[in-house]
Amino acid sequence: MKSFLKLLFLLYFTIGFSQEYSRKETEILMQVSKLDSLMEHNDNKILNLLADDVSFGHSNAWVQNYEDFRKDFESGKVKYQSVKQTELKELKFRKKLANIRRIISVKGLYNNQLFSMQLSVLEIWIHKKGVWKLWTRQSVGLKS
């Protein structure tokens, strides 16, 4: 993921991004990429990307708010080894909200048990004080 971020930044600074994405789309896609990278590296800087009232709906029906996510993330209950986006299905905006649907491949440890899964993820990001913050995330497991 680091190489992807480096490439993204290189493109931004050398050619100003392809005209395929608007400035707003580029900003949100960079935040999404940062979210995946911080999750993959189990970096608690991920908390800076979350809205205070964030809500996570996991593929196992587990629901977390900011505090639940923080506690579990910092405890190492889930340790991610790989978080890779395989497809961006939808990106749309409405006022200060961004709606993103994507497919990700995730590998890691949950309570020291290996897991690997493909997820369909819906994320709602909110633009607050000039920064995109993850507000809601719902994932559904995909059958291989």
DSSP per-residue letters across 45-57:
GGGGGEEEEEEEE
Distance set, CA 45 to CA 18, 24, 40, 68 (Å): 29, 22, 12, 16
Residue 58 identity: H
> What is the mean pLDDT of the segment spanning 106-126?
95
Asked if 88 and 100 count as a contact pair (C-beta separation under 8 A), the reply is yes
Mean of pLDDT over the chain: 89
4 pLDDT tier (thresholds 50, 70, 90) = low
Check residue 17 and give its pLDDT: 43
Domain range annotation of the chain: 2-142
13 pLDDT tier (thresholds 50, 70, 90) = very low
Q: Residue 96: what are its φ and ψ, rounded to 5°?
A: -100, 20
pTM over 0.85: no
Q: Does domain 2-142 have CATH number 3.10.450.50?
A: yes
If residue 84 lies in a helix (H) or strand (E), which one and from where to where?
strand 78-94
Distance CA 77, CA 60 (A): 15
